[in-house]
Amino acid sequence: MKQAWSLLEVVAPAAGLLDITDRVVRWTSEQRLSSGLLTLFCRHTSASLLIQENAAPAARRDLQRYFDRLAPESVAYEHHEEGPDDMPAHLRSALTQTHLGIPLADGRLWLGTWQGIYLFEHRRRPPRREIALHLIGE
């Protein structure tokens, strides 16, 4: 049994879903494990992680518009130090995932055919984001 870990650094071009599947799959396969568990952990509270549809860009645009309505900027929040997108970013993070766990079998991540791994960036001016990767298995 062995472990591996790494820090993935990402800057999204804008708020919304950024596909990180290829980078995650590449790092995982470089560790040359046959079976195990991959954990992704987003080290922020204004960006999050999501497994979503990887084939239809329209589905990702609908998803972002949905969260724009569900946790809108137009509400008078008590916490607004960093601007109108500050508190909605925390709410959207709370409603999605800070971490993901994906099993590995036969040397491959066990993702479904239509599943992609996404950073869900919630800030209008995205800073650099760190996603911790951890793999355990053999």
| Binding residues for a second copy (CB under 8 A) | 1, 3, 5, 35-37, 39, 41, 43-45, 50-53, 56, 58-59, 61-63, 66, 70-71, 77-79, 81, 87, 90-91, 93-103, 105, 110-112, 114-115, 130, 132-134, 136-138
**Helices of type H across 34-85:** 57-70
Provide, rounded to whole angstroms, the least separation between the CB of residue 137 and a second copy.
Answer: 7
| Nearest by Cα to 95 from 132, 133, 115, 69 | 69
For a second copy, which is the closer residue by CB, 27 or 137?
A: 137
